[in-house]
């Protein structure tokens, strides 16, 4: 059923990308790459004072993501069918564009362009799209203390930045799935449907689905 070497599940904060990545990896015996954001000491500080900590946060995330992906994607594992990740390295650029000042972003973009060619591109990027209210419900439900003060405006800003960036990608396959009215964690039929959508064939560019 699978025809990917490298699959990325993306989405806004609280979209369910990590959960879905874990479910797919378990079912298909795939290598799983999960972002280690909870180890980033700048993250709680950023939510308290974004202007002060945005630049060190984005730089530290970029370094951590690159190191992790470089190590994982260059290591061969004959016992895994493919690799699924709950993030796409380009999310560093997306978040940086939303949080940094223009001069900081210009520097960040230079650094990003240096490291990007050293990583393989995913065969498919899946973006889980949900409204801000749904995202906030999920954020509150999982109960991470440092996320409880995330504002609707910030989530909307990140969502808009993701979609704007994905629209510019002309050489990758991008699948945007509206997950507003589904619960793939607790309703097996919803998981089956989203799985069928992901493992279908798509052309280069953006394809959209609502379930």
> Is residue 15 over pLDDT 90?
yes
Q: According to the model, what pLDDT value does residue 18 have? A: 95
Query: What is the mean pLDDT of the segment spanning 94-118?
Result: 94
Which DSSP state fits 140?
A: H
Q: Judge whether 19 and 128 are in contact, CB under 8 Å.
A: no
3-state DSSP of 104-129: HHHHHHHHHHHHHHHCCCCCEEEEEE
Q: What's the CA gap between 109 and 104, in Å, rounded?
A: 9
Q: What percent of the chain has pLDDT over 70?
A: 98
Backbone dihedral angles phi then psi of residue 49, each to the nearest 5 degrees: -145, 80
Query: What is the mean pLDDT of the segment spanning 51-72?
Result: 94
Q: pLDDT band at 36, cuts 50/70/90?
A: confident
> Is residue 87 over pLDDT 60?
yes
Q: pLDDT band at 2, cuts 50/70/90?
A: low
Query: What is the mean pLDDT of the segment spanning 16-22?
Result: 96
Query: What is the mean pLDDT of the segment spanning 44-73?
Result: 93
> Is residue 80 over pLDDT 70?
yes
Backbone dihedral region of 40: left (phi > 0), alpha (psi from -120 to 50 degrees) or beta?
beta
pLDDT tens digits for range 172-210: 999 999 999 999 999 999 999 999 999 999 999 999 999
Query: What is the mean pLDDT of the segment spanning 43-69?
Result: 93
> Is residue 1 over pLDDT 70?
no
Q: What percent of the chain has pLDDT over 90?
A: 79
Mean model confidence pLDDT for the chain? 92
| Range 6-210 has CATH code 3.90.1150.10 | no
Q: Judge whether 108 and 91 are in contact, CB under 8 Å.
A: no
Query: What is the mean pLDDT of the segment spanning 32-57?
Result: 89
Backbone dihedral angles phi then psi of residue 2, each to the nearest 5 degrees: -80, 145
Q: Judge whether 73 and 6 are in contact, CB under 8 Å.
A: yes
Label residue 104 exposed, middle or buried (CB < 10 Å: 0-12, 13-18, 19+): middle
Q: According to the model, what pLDDT value does residue 79 have? A: 72
Write the DSSP assignment of 5-58 as a string of letters: SEEEEEESTTSSHHHHHHHHHHHHT-EEE---GGG-THHHHHHH-HHHHHHHHH
Q: Residues with catalytic annotation?
A: 86
């Amino acid at each position: 059923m699978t025809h990917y070497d490298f699959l990325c599940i993306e989405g806004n904060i609280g979209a369910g990308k990590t959960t879905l990545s874990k479910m797919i990896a378990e079912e298909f015996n795939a290598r799983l790459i999960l972002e280690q954001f909870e180890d980033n000491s700048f993250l709680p500080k950023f939510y308290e004072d974004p202007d002060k900590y945005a630049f060190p946060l984005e730089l530290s995330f970029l370094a951590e993501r690159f190191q992790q992906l470089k190590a994982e994607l260059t290591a061969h594992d004959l016992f895994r069918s493919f690799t699924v990740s709950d993030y796409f390295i380009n999310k560093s650029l997306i978040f940086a564009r939303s949080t940094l000042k223009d001069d900081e972003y210009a520097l960040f973009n230079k650094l990003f362009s240096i490291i990007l060619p050293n990583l393989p591109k995913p065969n498919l990027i899946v973006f889980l799209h949900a409204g801000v209210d749904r995202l906030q419900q999920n954020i509150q439900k999982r109960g991470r203390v440092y996320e409880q003060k995330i504002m609707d405006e910030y989530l909307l800003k990140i969502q808009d930045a993701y979609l704007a960036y994905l629209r510019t990608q002309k050489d990758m396959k991008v699948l945007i799935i509206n997950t507003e009215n589904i619960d793939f964690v607790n309703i097996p039929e919803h998981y089956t449907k989203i799985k069928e959508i992901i493992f279908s064939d798509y052309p280069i560019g953006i394809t959209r689905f609502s379930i």
